């Protein structure tokens, strides 16, 4: 009972205060002036290069949505190139060798380069995401829709991983410069 009373009395504020005391700073937190923080401003300065095939288009769209902010007029200073593949494999195979479930594995290797004449490599990384979907007998249109939805989910999750990795990199780099 005491714990509930403590939580109602403002434990949330105490936790935030304690985290701030140990040096915790949210990556996406706005500055005191209301503008985006260092990591978000750096993410907005990234140009995502074209990624081949339909899964690549989905990933590029997801990355652009995460990087683009509401502050206009920001100059692009970085180019992000991504090598992206989404192989599929049957994971539920019947005795007649027909597959009833497909696993998609999104594999992304990315390189962030400066837009300087030397195209300096700033950082590299990778992301790996898995998702599955069912294949329903005699429902080919439904299977195509499931495949498209699963590929979209894989692209969204891959974009989340890349965005978090880049935001953490920019935040760390800003802290090291202080």
C-alpha distances in Å from residue 70, one per residue of 67, 84, 90:
10, 28, 42
Share of the chain above pLDDT 90, in %: 48
Q: Which pLDDT band holds residue 91 (cuts at 50, 70, 90)? A: confident
User: With bands split at pLDDT 50, 70 and 90, how would you rate the model's confidence at 23?
Assistant: low
**Long-range CB pairs of 130-138, under 8 A, 24+ apart, other chains included:** 130/103, 130/104, 130/105, 130/106, 130/154, 131/103, 131/104, 131/106, 131/157, 132/91, 132/101, 132/102, 132/103, 132/104, 133/101, 133/102, 133/104, 134/100, 134/101, 135/99, 135/100, 135/101, 135/102, 137/100
Find the largest Cα–Cα distance for the chain: 65
Coil vs helix vs strand at 73: coil
Q: Of 115, 111, 114, which Cα lies nearest the Cα of 125?
A: 111
Architecture of domain 37-177: 2-Layer Sandwich (3.30)
b/e code 40-51 from CB counts within 10 Å (16+ = b): bbbbbebebeeb
* Residues 124-137 pLDDT 10s: 999 999 999 888 77
User: Closest by alpha carbon to 160, among 23, 27, 20?
Assistant: 27
Q: Is the pLDDT of residue 5 over 60?
A: no
**pTM, whole model, 2 decimals?**
0.78
Each domain of the chain, given as residue ranges in start order, spans 37-177
pLDDT tens for 138-165 read 677 887 888 899 999 999 999 999 999 9
pLDDT at residue 105 greater than cutoff 70: yes
Distant-in-sequence, close-in-space partners of 18: CB < 8 Å, separation ≥ 6 = none
């Amino acid at each position: 009972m005491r714990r509930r009373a403590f939580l109602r009395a403002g434990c949330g504020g105490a936790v935030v205060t304690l985290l701030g005391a140990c040096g915790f700073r949210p990556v996406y937190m706005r500055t005191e002036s209301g503008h985006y923080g260092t990591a978000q401003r750096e993410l907005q300065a990234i140009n995502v290069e074209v990624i081949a095939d339909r899964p690549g288009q989905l990933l590029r769209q997801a990355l652009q949505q995460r990087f683009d902010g509401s502050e206009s007029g920001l100059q692009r200073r970085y180019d992000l190139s991504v090598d992206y593949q989404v192989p599929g494999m049957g994971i539920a195979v019947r005795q007649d060798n027909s597959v009833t479930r497909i696993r998609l594995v999104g594999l992304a290797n990315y390189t962030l380069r400066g837009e300087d004449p030397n195209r300096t490599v700033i950082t590299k990384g990778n992301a790996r995401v898995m998702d599955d979907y069912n294949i329903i007998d005699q429902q080919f249109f439904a299977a195509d829709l499931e495949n498209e939805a699963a590929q979209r989910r894989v692209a969204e999750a891959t974009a989340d991983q890349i965005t978090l990795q880049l935001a953490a990199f920019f935040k760390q780099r800003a802290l090291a410069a202080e």
